[in-house]
């Protein structure tokens, strides 16, 4: 193959009967368009030039004046990957095997910390958190890519994001409704399209909505320069007390399977591509293998108090279904989610060898089960921070469960021995190089290079397949036009409407439609939130709020100040915000003590809890038993319960509509008798709720979880078995079971219910 002289910035570089090449100035980067070849984006400031070979244009990424196999877009991805991995230094490979902690895209340039991650540590996987605007996000991404392109081999960054197409957590927020007429002005919605939270997406039980979400969110991601989604969270949420319930696709393994499959298929597929991969594709990093929804008593594995996942019902295999039958079994050409993240927990007593270490350190969980048995071919990336130093069960620090006493380099070595390719939230590539040296001492130099190069090939495959070796640059103006556009925002809003679940509607309390020429009067009581501690144990001050802004509410009804003036009331509360299941050391309990996590608002004493924990043991604890039987817990938002009860007393026979912004299942018994209608909302806008209440839209959602009869059934259920609780039956005779929901006609019994009930 003859290498010809580089070609530069002429308007028409080459025109022949086979391939026409045009080079266009796009501001901070240039685009080379080919009529019969790959389009190329490059930054002249990076030192990269364009090679003309056989009438085609190629990027000279390593700046050596020659076309190397990894630069040749005509070759198979596997061939290009093998060539590039063989050229990489140990430092470059170790950097590739790291994933940055969250960074912000708040300017069109990089800060020193970001340059250090890319330069000093050779990191090529950047986790984006906050983005100032779509335009600035695109400019920042271009700055990242230009910096990477200037490096020795020109390897682009695989920018990524946690889920970002949602409203504010599980709380309901105001003003996310696209205006029906005139200029598109959704009052802040157009930073990106807004959809219900993940469990709300599942509450639609509608795969067409899931696929549309994937198509839209991936288009917005690519416009921002994001090529990997740290999602979906495919965990079967069989433990109702788990804090991350809201981020799952329900407690049912088969609904989780179908949603995860539709989600990954839509994100990863590029229409018209022979392989399914291309410049419209976004890699999916499905999490958390082998399922994070079985933590004992619902405690959170971000802390040592929640390090154990347990399987008292023998349901370990159920947790695998969303992965092996869903995310790893795609109907399209991409075949499987391209990456997977093991969860923090120790899958207690599941390893036949008897080893009990966190999934990210477990050879059985990753190599023997994931790779050997289920033939998973993609990248394995640990959850964030598992190779850090550990302080105490109740302190948020490193999460090296089961290997707490190993050195930092030994922890990384243990991950690599388990089959891990990448360390989430880690930097300091020098520590990975030290782990490499330990591998050399243990297995030999040739084996060490072979093992680390294997991970490099897997990681590079995911970067090559989404096309950023050819063009990592995005158009900031197009990002501003695409991200949060009216079409996308309307689709997200429609999904919000369809995710809302009506579980009670006594005497047809809803809808509350205004009659012609006369508006109804509504009363909304002020909600009080006491001071307390966040989940991360940071102090939170008390405050009062109108959960639905008075201005927004007034668009629908006349807002009045007293129950006496009102035709009906709307009371917005949150599902019980239970504490984290642990009493930190105090005078009564100098070593601390475990306590229940409650799903009811008022005081709860765990008389029905198991007497002794299934799992336990920690270097900072003197005993292994984590039992809490007989201990009491009161949710921090207990006033929400009284708000409902007191409002009903004040309203008398007039209807009280209760909205429960739901993070995880709750016991309805404390509020249902005081409610005429109940809407269960999973992270939607208040506009959507008011459209349901006013009758502008009809309820469509179904419960993606059981709502328990009481806390006794929560204690008696098995953490690993879905749908095994006694469900609450309300005053209307309806059972709040999985896949239950009402519309204006009554109980929904459509094809969704028949498929999943």
pLDDT in the model for residue 187: 37
Band of the pLDDT at 180, cuts 50, 70, 90? low
181-235: per-residue pLDDT in tens? 544 444 344 589 999 999 999 999 999 999 999 999 999 999 999 999 999 999 9
236-267: per-residue pLDDT in tens? 999 999 999 999 999 999 999 999 999 999 99
Decide if 466 is inside a domain: yes
* Whole-number average pLDDT of the chain: 94
The model carries a pTM of 0.95
Decide if 734 is inside a domain: yes
Decide if 151 is inside a domain: yes
By the 8 A CB rule, do 659 and 644 touch? no
613-628: per-residue pLDDT in tens? 999 999 999 999 999 9
Indicate the residue among 482, 514, 540 that finishes a domain. 482
The H or E element that residue 32 is part of is strand 30-34
In this structure, the answer to whether residues 478 and 500 fall within a common structural domain is: no
Residues 592, 598: Cα–Cα separation, whole Å: 18
In this structure, the answer to whether residues 285 and 149 fall within a common structural domain is: yes
DSSP of 108-175? SS--HHHHHHHHTS-----EEEEES-HHHHHHHHHHHHHHHHTSSS-PPP--EES--SBSSTTS-BS-
State CA 324 to chain mean position distance: 19
In this structure, the answer to whether residues 343 and 311 fall within a common structural domain is: yes
Give the tokens for residue 28.
């901070």
Positions of E strands within 251-294 = 283-289
Decide if 132 is inside a domain: yes
In this structure, the answer to whether residues 474 and 506 fall within a common structural domain is: no
68-100: per-residue pLDDT in tens? 999 999 999 999 999 999 999 999 999 999 999
509-567: per-residue pLDDT in tens? 999 999 988 999 999 999 999 998 887 778 889 999 999 999 999 999 999 999 999 99
The H or E element that residue 255 is part of is helix 253-268
pLDDT in the model for residue 184: 41
25-38: per-residue pLDDT in tens? 999 999 999 999 99
Decide if 24 is inside a domain: yes
Report the b/e string of 61-79 with b at 16+ CB within 10 A.
bbbeeebbbbbbbeeebee
The H or E element that residue 551 is part of is helix 550-556
Quote the domain boundaries for residue 340. Answer: 94-482
pLDDT in the model for residue 68: 98
Residues 68, 685: Cα–Cα separation, whole Å: 52
In this structure, the answer to whether residues 239 and 113 fall within a common structural domain is: yes
Residues 369, 75: Cα–Cα separation, whole Å: 33
State CA 200 to chain mean position distance: 13
Decide if 589 is inside a domain: no
Band of the pLDDT at 578, cuts 50, 70, 90? confident
Decide if 595 is inside a domain: no
The H or E element that residue 34 is part of is strand 30-34
In this structure, the answer to whether residues 318 and 386 fall within a common structural domain is: yes
pLDDT in the model for residue 12: 46
Cis peptide before 511 (omega within 30 of 0): yes
By the 8 A CB rule, do 485 and 190 touch? yes
In this structure, the answer to whether residues 103 and 60 fall within a common structural domain is: no
Distances (CA, A) of 458 to 25, 77, 421, 452: 34, 11, 8, 10
Q: Tell me which residue of 359, 371, 155, 314 sits closest to 724, measured CA to CA.
A: 314
Q: Could you give the percent of the chain with pLDDT greater than 70?
A: 95
Give the tokens for residue 653.
């026979």
663-705: per-residue pLDDT in tens? 999 999 999 999 999 999 999 999 999 999 999 999 999 999 9
In this structure, the answer to whether residues 457 and 547 fall within a common structural domain is: no
> In the Cβ-directed half-sphere of 329, how many Cα atoms lie within 13 Å?
11
Degrees, nearest 5: CA angle 483-473-72 = 135
In this structure, the answer to whether residues 364 and 458 fall within a common structural domain is: yes
**What CATH number is given to the structural domain containing 520?**
3.40.50.1700
Residues 738, 707: Cα–Cα separation, whole Å: 8
Q: How many domains does the chain have?
A: 3
Backbone dihedral angles phi then psi of residue 498, each to the nearest 5 degrees: -80, -10
In this structure, the answer to whether residues 66 and 122 fall within a common structural domain is: no
Decide if 630 is inside a domain: no
Can you give 621-664 as a three-state secondary structure string? CCCCCCCCCCCEECCCCCHHHHHHHHHHHHHCCCCEEEEEECCC
Helices (H) and strands (E) in the chain, counts: 19, 33
Indicate the residue among 482, 505, 523 that finishes a domain. 482
Backbone dihedral angles phi then psi of residue 30, each to the nearest 5 degrees: -125, 150
In this structure, the answer to whether residues 469 and 575 fall within a common structural domain is: no
In this structure, the answer to whether residues 272 and 223 fall within a common structural domain is: yes
306-322: per-residue pLDDT in tens? 999 999 999 999 999 99
pLDDT in the model for residue 312: 98
Any bridge partners for residue 723, and if so which?
A: none
Residues 680, 250: Cα–Cα separation, whole Å: 14
In this model, does residue 178 exceed pLDDT 80?
no
Residues 592, 574: Cα–Cα separation, whole Å: 28
Positions of E strands within 515-673 = 521-523, 527-529, 532-533, 539-540, 543-545, 558-560, 568-574, 582-583, 593-594, 604-605, 632-633, 656-661
Give the tokens for residue 80.
């290009």
Indicate the residue among 482, 512, 542 that finishes a domain. 482
The H or E element that residue 453 is part of is helix 445-465
């Amino acid at each position: 193959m003859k290498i010809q002289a580089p070609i530069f910035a002429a308007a028409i570089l080459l025109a022949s009967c086979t391939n026409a090449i045009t080079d266009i100035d796009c501001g901070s980067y240039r685009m080379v368009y080919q009529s019969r070849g790959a389009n190329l984006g490059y930054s002249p400031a990076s030192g990269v030039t364009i090679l003309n070979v056989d009438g085609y244009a190629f990027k000279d990424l390593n700046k050596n004046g020659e076309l190397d196999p990894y630069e040749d877009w005509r070759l198979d991805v596997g061939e290009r990957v093998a060539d590039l991995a063989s050229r990489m230094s140990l430092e470059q490979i170790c950097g590739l095997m790291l994933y940055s902690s969250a960074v912000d895209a708040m300017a069109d340039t990089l800060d020193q910390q970001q340059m250090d991650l890319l330069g000093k540590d050779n990191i090529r996987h950047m986790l984006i958190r906050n983005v100032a605007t779509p335009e600035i996000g695109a400019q920042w991404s271009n700055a990242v890519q230009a910096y990477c392109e200037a490096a020795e081999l020109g390897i682009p960054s695989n920018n990524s994001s946690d889920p970002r197409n949602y409203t504010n957590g599980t709380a309901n927020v105001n003003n996310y409704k696209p205006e029906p007429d005139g200029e598109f002005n959704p009052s802040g919605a157009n930073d990106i399209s807004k959809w219900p939270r993940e469990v709300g997406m599942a509450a639609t039980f509608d795969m067409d909505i899931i696929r549309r979400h994937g198509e839209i969110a991936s288009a917005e991601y690519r416009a921002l320069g994001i090529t990997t989604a740290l999602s979906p969270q495919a965990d079967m949420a069989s433990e109702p007390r788990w804090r991350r319930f809201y981020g799952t696709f329900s407690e049912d393994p088969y609904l989780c399977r179908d949603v995860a499959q539709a989600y990954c298929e839509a994100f990863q597929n590029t229409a018209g591509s022979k392989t399914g991969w291309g410049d419209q594709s976004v890699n999916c990093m499905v999490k958390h293998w082998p399922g994070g929804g079985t933590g004992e008593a619902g405690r959170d594995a971000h802390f040592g108090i929640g390090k154990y996942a347990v399987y008292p019902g023998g349901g370990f295999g159920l947790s695998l279904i969303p992965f092996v039958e869903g995310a790893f079994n795609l109907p399209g050409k991409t075949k499987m989610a391209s990456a997977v993240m093991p969860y923090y927990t120790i899958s207690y007593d599941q390893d036949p060898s008897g080893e009990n270490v966190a999934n990210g350190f477990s050879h059985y969980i990753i190599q023997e089960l994931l790779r050997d048995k289920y033939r998973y071919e993609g990248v394995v990336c640990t959850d964030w921070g598992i190779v850090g130093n550990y302080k105490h069960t109740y302190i948020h620090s490193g999460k090296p469960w089961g290997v707490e006493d190993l050195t930092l380099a030994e922890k990384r070595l243990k991950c690599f021995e388990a089959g891990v390719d990448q360390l989430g939230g880690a930097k300091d590539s020098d520590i990975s190089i030290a782990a490499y040296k330990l591998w050399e001492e243990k297995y030999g130099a040739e084996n060490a290079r072979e093992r680390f190069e294997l991970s490099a090939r897997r990681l590079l495959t995911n970067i090559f397949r989404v096309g950023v070796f050819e063009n990592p640059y995005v158009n900031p103006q197009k990002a501003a036009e695409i991200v949060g556009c009216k079409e996308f925002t309307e689709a997200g809003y429609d999904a919000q409407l369809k995710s809302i679940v009506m579980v009670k509607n006594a005497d047809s309390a809803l809808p509350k439609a205004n009659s012609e020429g006369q508006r109804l009067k509504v009363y909304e009581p002020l909600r009080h939130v006491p001071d307390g501690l966040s989940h991360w144990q940071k102090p939170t001050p008390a405050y009062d709020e109108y959960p639905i802004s008075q201005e927004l509410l007034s668009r629908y009804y006349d807002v009045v100040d007293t129950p006496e003036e009102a035709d009906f009331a709307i009371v917005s509360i949150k599902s019980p915000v239970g504490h984290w299941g642990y009493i930190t050391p105090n005078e009564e309990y100098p070593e601390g003590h475990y306590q229940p996590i409650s799903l009811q608002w008022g005081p709860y004493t765990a008389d029905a809890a198991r007497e002794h924990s299934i799992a336990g043991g920690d270097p900072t604890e003197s005993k292994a038993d984590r039992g809490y039987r007989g201990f009491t817990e009161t949710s921090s938002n207990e006033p929400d319960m009284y708000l409902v009860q007191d409002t009903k007393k004040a309203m008398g026979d007039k209807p009280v509509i209760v909205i429960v912004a739901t993070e995880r299942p709750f016991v309805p018994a404390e509020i249902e008798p005081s409610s005429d209608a109940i809407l269960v909302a999973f992270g939607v806008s208040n506009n959507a709720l008011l459209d349901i209440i006013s009758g502008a839209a009809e309820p469509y959602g179904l419960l993606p979880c059981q709502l328990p009869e009481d806390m006794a059934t929560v204690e008696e259920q098995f953490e690993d078995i879905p749908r095994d609780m006694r469900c609450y039956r309300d005053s209307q005779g309806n059972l709040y079971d999985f896949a239950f929901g009402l519309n204006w006609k009554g109980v929904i019994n459509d094809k969704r219910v028949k498929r999943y009930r």
